[in-house]
Structure 1
């Protein structure tokens, strides 16, 4: 599971094609690699445990870190990853899974979910998501977006074999710029008085995530696949993303729509219900308000 997570995390901040090429050429850090490197206790005090691994600041290009007297014996530079941030992520994640999860990440997930199982139904899913995401924020270099994507895939992949996993995995929503801009261009944000700039506000009350959650409650996902849960927010969010992304239907994005003018795609299946809001004017408005 560590090896799979490291591959997922390697796609942050770069085109998928480039990340794949680099992984094919240089490989990645595996659980076995990290365990072997840390078996003889390293001299660097930061590698003594998860709670000690802080402010490492290893940089691949300059081969420097915050503990220069220990870098000669440090295992991080031995891995040919794309940048030093990923090297730090690799060891931070390993130490989390070893020290916090006790070497049993699946068992840790089960315990985190079980701790929230007794909550009222309207609070339970939110608490379960937070019980997984919040601790992982301590792992260096992992954004909430990537954490959410990885956890959603992992939990959904278990299907109904593990209690709560499918339900929680289906409830995760990942808002990137494509999804946010689609909600802007269609006028959905404005209709619900939810206009806001892309960022943390997307996950606040009446933000993008909450609106998608409300949409999902009105769509029976079993119509698309009888094995799906009835309400499937992650499926709805992914459908929006695929409608917009260049690798999907490529229908609603900055390459297709000029931000200075409303969309002129007369073939769009959503045109009759779309307000075709100009994205550029919205961005100017937020910049003025922020100033």
Structure 2
């Protein structure tokens, strides 16, 4: 029930509330690239690495740009495509320039994160004119839809769609990260809140829960993980469930309809950092779940994942 409080704490600790109010891009950029670096590995390992080695930052990348790097890939967002920097082999698409290249200098966990940071920097500088807050405002205001569902979808796509072309970020990490930013700005920008509270981050835990419980088979269209945002997919099921739950009965400060909270609640049931119940560490996926004390046990179909071709 503390979901909004946790978001507000993160927003305040990162200075995002002040950055949004002042349209100050660097703190937002720094938070985004740090948050994006948590993908593909446990939060603890990612956090420990950042604490030891630091993260990429707007001002550091901008300082490197002022020195006019010789690499033709570092001219603009459009030139950057195909950089192919690899940290382990210290190679890239322009090997004649790599020794003087500033891109490898942030000591990040892998080369993909270095490339992601630069790709996002060029996106914000070249496509958003250095004003990320203003760009989000314009994107959301330009979205149109005849129904609530169409408007929600159009607003999400207006922001997520262009950012999807930033190197190294997935829909899941974009949805998860941007929903926090947009929800956290709700006092200043209601349209951000309306968009953020409807964003869903469907990861493997959420997808597997919907399969194990039988909900996907009964209410949606069976699919492999990765197709969760299509018609009849996991995201559509969660939005339908959210339509039937008045979240204000759980916490009066919540909005009545809160899809992001519903998705996050499923994730917390499954995650090791949450209730740690419905996941592959606790359940032998060759057999039906045997966690009898789970509140959902009698209502769950307890479908073994490895008997389902839809989970790959």
TM-score for the superposition, normalised by structure 2:
0.88
Q: 1:265 aligns with which of 286, 291, 298?
A: 291
Measure, in 1, the Cα distance between the counterparts of 2:291 and 2:54: 43
1:122-178: CA deviations, max 9, x gaps? 311100000111100111111111111111010011023203111110001111111
Query: Quick check: 2:92–2:98 contact (8 Å CA) kept in 1?
Result: yes
Measure, in 2, the Cα distance between the counterparts of 1:118 and 1:190: 30
Residue 106 of structure 2 corresponds to: 79
1:202-242: CA deviations, max 9, x gaps? 11000000000000000011112222111111000000000
1:223-270: CA deviations, max 9, x gaps? 122221111110000000000111100111111111111112221111
1:193–1:110 Cα change, 3 Å:
closer
1:14-63: CA deviations, max 9, x gaps? 11111111111110111110110001221111111111111001111111
Q: 1:104 aligns with which of 131, 143, 155?
A: 131
| Paired residue total | 285
For residues 1-291 of structure 1, the aligned pairs below 5 Å read 1-117=28-144, 119-199=146-226, 201-283=227-309
Measure, in 2, the Cα distance between the counterparts of 1:121 and 1:181: 28
Query: Quick check: 1:167–1:229 contact (8 Å CA) kept in 2?
Result: no
Q: Secondary structure at the match of 2:173?
A: helix
- Structure 2 unpaired stretches of 5+: 1-27
TM-score for the superposition, normalised by structure 1:
0.94
Query: Quick check: 2:183–2:193 contact (8 Å CA) kept in 1?
Result: yes
- Structure 1 unpaired stretches of 5+: none
Shift of 1:121: 3.2
Shift of 1:185: 0.9
1:185–1:157 Cα change, 3 Å:
same
Q: Secondary structure at the match of 1:180?
A: helix
**CA RMSD between the two structures:** 1.4
Measure, in 1, the Cα distance between the counterparts of 2:311 and 2:147: 37
Measure, in 2, the Cα distance between the counterparts of 1:32 and 1:162: 26
Larger % of helix: which?
Answer: 1
Query: Quick check: 2:225–2:311 contact (8 Å CA) kept in 1?
Result: no
